[in-house]
Amino acid sequence: MILVVLPAFNEADALPPLLARLKKASLGHLQSSLSVIVVDDGSTDGTAERARATDGLEVKVIVHPKNRGLSEAIRTGLLAAVEQARDDDVIVTMDADDTQGPGLISRMTMLIEEGNDVVVASRYAPGGRVLGVPRGRRVLSRGASTLFRLVYPVAGVRDYTCGYRAYRAGLLRQAFARWGQDFVSEPGFSCMV
């Protein structure tokens, strides 16, 4: 099974097209069943209602009554995914703003099935690109990735700030068992390694 975690804040307009593409991916090239967990982080635009209105795709919606920030939304989603996943399942995190296409989920899942524990998508890999992101955020992201690549190099990681990742569910279960709530602890925008 593939579980996709979507932390969302005021994404009522962007979420339905993304969920439609996830539905299409689940009916097409994905070999495993796909389930989506949307964490509505205090949205005021009807994000949760739009997510619940999705037909033909298993979507669980978790609502934070107040905005608690990206790290809290990710933590909530990962904990929910780990609770329903088997150790060999794949948990994918991606942005709910429809800037990351679900077309990579199949490849990322295959890499997990080949024995990798974590797969990080990269906007900076050959052939990668950044669409729909303001210039200032692109510069910040590129700069942070370059800095972390120099200071904390991790083999094969090109993009330290991209939240589009796939994890072996058993690895996340072990991480939460060891570090508890501190496993995901950074408020707001930060580097994830």
Task: Give the pLDDT band (50/70/90) at residue 183.
Answer: confident
pLDDT at 193: 46
Q: What is the sign of the dihedral through the CA atoms of 163, 83, 13 and 25?
A: positive
Query: Which structure tokens are listed for 45?
Result: 């635009």
Tens-digit pLDDT profile for residues 32-76: 789 999 999 999 999 999 999 999 899 999 999 999 999 999 999
Query: What type of residue is 26?
Result: S
The third-level CATH classification (topology) of the domain covering 2-121+163-183 is: Spore Coat Polysaccharide Biosynthesis Protein SpsA; Chain A (3.90.550)
Task: In whole angstroms, give the CA distance from residue 90 to residue 46.
Answer: 29
pLDDT tens string 70-98 = 999 999 999 999 999 999 999 999 999 98
Q: What is the pTM of this model?
A: 0.81
112-134 pLDDT, tens digit each: 999 999 998 876 555 656 566 67
Delimit the domains of the chain by residue range: 2-121+163-183
What are the C-alpha distances in Å from 123 to residues 3, 68, 135, 158, 162?
22, 27, 14, 8, 8
